[in-house]
Amino acid sequence: MAFVILDPCRGEKAGECVSVCPVDCIEEGLKQFYIDPDICIDCGACKAVCPVSAIEEEYDLTPDQEKYLEEAEEFFANR
């Protein structure tokens, strides 16, 4: 399982999540930050500091939110 950054990050991109991640799995994209689902250790540090509540656990995503996990996977696959 991994954490996923959702729509509230777009336009905000505060970045507190990047500085607290113990495994450096969060990177900035053009629209928002993304969490690498293959590296994330599910510690929850990013979720705790997000000022716009944009981070959810993968298994808590609604069907409409699953596109954000797909975007993160694509972002890291194309690097």
Fold type of domain 3-77 = Alpha-Beta Plaits (3.30.70)
* Residues 24-37: b if buried by 16+ CB within 10 A, e if exposed: ebbeebeebbbbbb
Alpha-carbon radius of gyration of the chain: 11
**Average pLDDT of the residues of the chain:** 95
Q: How confident is the model at residue 24 (pLDDT cuts 50, 70, 90)?
A: very high
How far is the C-alpha of 48 from the C-alpha of 78, rounded, in Å?
28
Q: Where are the domains of the chain?
A: 3-77
Q: Which residues pair with 27 in a beta bridge?
A: 34
Please tell me the predicted confidence (pLDDT) of residue 14.
92
Q: Which helix (H) or strand (E) holds 8?
A: none
| Mean pLDDT across 39-58 | 96
